[in-house]
Structure 1
Amino acid sequence: MESVVQWLKKNKITEVECLISDFTGIARGKIMPADKFCKEKGVRLPESVLIQTVTGDYLDEEPYYDVIDPAEVDVRLRPDETAIYLVPWALEPTAQIIHDVYDKKGNLIELSPRNLLKKVLKLYSGKGWQPIVAPELEFYLTQMNVNPDHPLEPPVGRSGRQETGRQSYSIDAVNEFDPLFEDIYDYCEAQQLDVDTLIHEEGTAQMEINFRHGSPLELADQVFLFKRTVREVALKHNMTATFMAKPISDEPGSAMHVHQSIHEQKTLRNIFTGDNGENTDFFYGYIAGLQKYMPSAMPLFAPNVNSYRRFLPGESAPVNVEWGVDNRTVALRVPDSEGENKRVENRLPGADANPYLAIAGSLLCGYMGMSEGLHPTAPFEGSAYDSESMRLPLSLEHALMMLEDCQPLCEMLGKKFVRAYIAVKEAESENFKRIISSWERKYLLMTV
């Protein structure tokens, strides 16, 4: 805590945002004066915040007394001294500090997404391994939209015109929003977020930011904060930035591809590559674990009812767990790389996924495959979009059923976490069903 206090004083911080991530990835916590933060012995929040739905509702507590304390107790938040960042859009010097969540006895709370990722990383550390990841995050820029019944529209760029058509990799299309991206890069630099390449994706005003490779926990923190950053910058420029998996009809969905490799902690050697450059048993086991367990882990990669619109026929998202070399139609792409650069790209997670849970889920599936000595299928040649093997659950309800039925995965994730997570997602699904859509009014109102 002393190093945190010194950092705050050095940067003349007057206000502190104490942050944790809930299941959805929403930043929850408290804001307080820096002086009060330094004097406090810790921050507390109600335990029930961790099982809040995306709509802000709480689960009925009684059926979940085995998940949370029936007395509605507080949990303790402890600042991570390696996760302190400036808030560059704030009007006064402000810091945002990511916290870990503990119970009153000092035990890590199982329901915290960040704690789950730390739990998975501890499994790797026990083997003497260090995972390395590099996320790629897609998002849309749109005009401000205050009426949820109205479809989203592309924003107006520097030319005074809306973007039309598909502009994959267009430099000029990105330059239309130069002032916005200059602010994004400036804000990311102020927070020391390791963003790298910016490209225009396939959709109208759809962009992608790549992150430099590094520690999974650090990169999950950065993606968590990056989403806040992009939304703030978009608002500054009178736009909206959305990380919904499928925000616009007839436009491609948005993904969060995660490149991953495993290295020895002591030597930093990539265990996916042998001495002669050949693929190792660890490499094949990792892919096989993803193939076996990813369908059951789908709620971590596609957590919302909207997530599954990415997987409809004709979409560019993978609908299976095939793997292949330099093949973008499979879920598990192995980029054409050699030696220490050998890695697997998981193309399944949506941009709407909680980065802590998506990265934890992917690393856990791969870990289980290596631990069990599994073997993958043959690498897929050609387009895998029409592959009928190893298909994925294509609705949230089906995905939740598969997760609940996969005992090995539930044991590794923790039964308390799985029970709470499924309950929250079932509540969100039920809430969604109560809303009458514009499609129903358009086609059924006067015809049935």
Structure 2
Amino acid sequence: MTQANSPSGSTVAEAEAFLAAHPEIEAFDIILHDSNGIGRGKIIRRHELLSIYKGGRHMPISILGLDICGEDVHETGLIWDEGDGDRRAWPIPGTLVPLAGTTPPRGEVFMSLYNLDGSQMTSDPRHALQRQVDALASEGLFPAGAFELEFFLLENERDANGKMIPARDVLDGRRNSKTDVYSVDQLHGMLPLFNDIYEGAKAAGIKAETLISEFAPGQYELTLHYRENVMQAADDLMRLKRLVRMHARLHGRTACFMAKPNEDYAGSGMHFHVSLQDAKGTNVFMEAVEGQWSDTIRHAIGGLRQTMGESMLVFAPHANSWRRFASQSYAPVSPTWGVNNRSVALRIPAGDIRARRVEHRPAGVDANPYLVAATVLAGIRHGLKHRIDPGPEVTGNGYDAVTDIVMPDDWRSAIKAATGSTFLKEALGEEMHRTFTAVKAAEYARVMRTVSEVDFDLYLHTV
């Protein structure tokens, strides 16, 4: 088979070099990410890899029209409206990596979906992010960034009341039910697991950095190296989640990426640090005099504030996401901004002015980083274009701040706001917007018709 022109830019040479360097690898996970950020695809054998780089791999269009349970959502228009026809998935250059710790050895490669004529299948979240990156490039700006990954490590079984149990240390089985935020000793019992995660990240070309014991029993945070390519930052986050989940499972534990698995403790965020560079590589968020904020960073924050309400479904996409937002919980509850202040939604961190950036804090760890980044970049572009004033900086307790921007207060309101949002339709692209909001509406209907344990607990013997 001769190589077809790959619309993703992938080359057979990359695959040939990888196979030559890794004769031990027997199989590969080929992964597309849907609107929920769930990896969907296939496991192929070693001898199949070159054919995928030469001609792509057909996959049904419905793979991007699934809900959180993997069920078809007909309202996306991607199922029978299209006859569930095939499109073609192509490898993403630079994403072919070994999966360290697998037996027998495997690798993985990220894929993106294209129409059969080579045009983008725009219900693919990667294409939504690339549109915003390209739009900024046409304006002479280039986004850089990194995500933070917060998560819980849990026992595989729940307690007698159905509650999650923080994972015992893998080193010696010790149990810890204390918060112990920032405790270094608390990390030691999990080092065998985290050492494997770091090795897996290194093998995959990810610079996983600081490890923190977070603000709940069994909660941790891993930070990622700042990337000059925002798409690569999103890829890093997706791959690190997969590595954490895989190695936790190999150690007999469960990695939990729910936004709020325990009502008594803080939830898990996915803070997005973002800055803009010009064509010379200069950070345009940097101020001339420290503390005298540039118009560029002020207008960027203004755009993010103004568009946050209609974008919240991207940042909090699930029913459980909305349990994370509570006062004094380190999760923002209003579109506030401030400096060196973790009670606001948009934070300018302290530090060297050359590294000036905005920390976007609303997103939960259950959100799709491609869509989060696309929406944040679109909000920044909106602010720069319209020179939006962000209003006064919040100092002190941001939970006490009052703003004039209307925010949805629950999942249903967020779905309604997102569905009717002209801004979000432009930010994600029309097809991605339709797919995402249709999937969320279907999931909301599923949750609302489900009779839960809460119903029985509240009403069985009382009404």
Q: For the superposition of Structure 1 and Structure 2, which TM-score range results when normalised by the shorter chain?
A: over 0.9
1:272 paired with 2:285, answer yes
Output one character per residue of 1:46-98: Cα deviation in whole Å (capped at 9) or x when no partner. Answer: 101101000111013xx544898522211111111211111113223322111
2:198 to 170, 182, 185: 185
Segments of 5+ residues of structure 1 without an aligned counterpart are: none
Report the CA distance shift for 1:248/1:372 in structure 2 as closer, same or farther (over 3 A).
same
1:439 paired with 2:454, answer yes
Segments of 5+ residues of structure 2 without an aligned counterpart are: 1-10
Give the conservation status (yes or no) of the 8 Å contact 2:78–2:84: no
Report the CA distance shift for 1:39/1:413 in structure 2 as closer, same or farther (over 3 A).
closer
Equivalence for 2:362 = 348
Equivalence for 1:33 = 45
Equivalence for 1:79 = 91
Equivalence for 1:19 = 31
Aligned residue type for 1:369: G
Output one character per residue of 1:109-135: Cα deviation in whole Å (capped at 9) or x when no partner. Answer: 110111111111111111121111121
**1:409 Cα offset (Å):** 3.0
**1:275 Cα offset (Å):** 4.0
Aligned residue type for 2:409: L
Output one character per residue of 1:165-207: Cα deviation in whole Å (capped at 9) or x when no partner. Answer: 2111001111121211111111111112111100000111100
1:394 paired with 2:394, answer no
Equivalence for 1:4 = 14
Aligned residue runs from structure 1 range 140-179, under 5 A: 140-145=152-157, 150-157=162-169, 158-179=171-192
Local SS of the residue matching 1:268: coil
Question: 2:163, 2:31 → 1: CA distance?
Answer: 32
Local SS of the residue matching 1:221: helix
Report the CA distance shift for 1:67/1:440 in structure 2 as closer, same or farther (over 3 A).
closer
Equivalence for 2:393 = 379
1:91 paired with 2:103, answer yes
Report the CA distance shift for 1:153/1:107 in structure 2 as closer, same or farther (over 3 A).
same
Give the conservation status (yes or no) of the 8 Å contact 1:270–1:339: no
Give the conservation status (yes or no) of the 8 Å contact 2:34–2:124: yes
Equivalence for 2:377 = 363
Amino-acid identity (%): 31
Aligned residue type for 1:178: L
Say which is worse superposed, 172-181 or 199-208, in terms of deviation: 172-181
Say which is worse superposed, 75-84 or 3-12, in terms of deviation: 3-12
Aligned residue type for 1:408: F
Local SS of the residue matching 1:29: strand
Question: 1:39, 1:317 → 2: CA distance?
Answer: 46
Question: 2:196, 2:130 → 1: CA distance?
Answer: 32
1:300 paired with 2:310, answer no
Question: 1:88, 1:168 → 2: CA distance?
Answer: 30
**1:159 Cα offset (Å):** 4.7
Report the CA distance shift for 1:438/1:388 in structure 2 as closer, same or farther (over 3 A).
farther
1:234 paired with 2:244, answer no
Local SS of the residue matching 2:338: strand
Give the conservation status (yes or no) of the 8 Å contact 2:151–2:256: yes
Question: 2:287, 2:362 → 1: CA distance?
Answer: 27
Local SS of the residue matching 1:417: helix
Question: 2:454, 2:78 → 1: CA distance?
Answer: 40
Aligned residues: 445
Give the conservation status (yes or no) of the 8 Å contact 1:311–1:394: no
Question: 2:167, 2:198 → 1: CA distance?
Answer: 20
1:117 to 108, 123, 129: 129
Local SS of the residue matching 2:94: strand
Aligned residue runs from structure 1 range 207-222, under 5 A: 207-214=220-227, 215-222=229-236
Report the CA distance shift for 1:344/1:209 in structure 2 as closer, same or farther (over 3 A).
same
Give the conservation status (yes or no) of the 8 Å contact 1:256–1:347: yes
Aligned residue type for 1:425: K
Local SS of the residue matching 1:294: helix
Question: 1:310, 1:227 → 2: CA distance?
Answer: 19
1:47 paired with 2:47, answer no
**1:357 Cα offset (Å):** 1.1
RMSD in angstroms over aligned alpha carbons? 1.9
- Scaled by the length of structure 1, the TM-score of the pair is 0.95
Local SS of the residue matching 1:164: coil
**1:372 Cα offset (Å):** 1.6
Say which is worse superposed, 35-44 or 143-152, in terms of deviation: 143-152
Output one character per residue of 1:267-288: Cα deviation in whole Å (capped at 9) or x when no partner. Answer: 1111112444542211111000
**1:340 Cα offset (Å):** 1.4
Equivalence for 2:431 = 416
Local SS of the residue matching 1:81: coil
Question: 1:274, 1:177 → 2: CA distance?
Answer: 41
1:205 paired with 2:218, answer yes
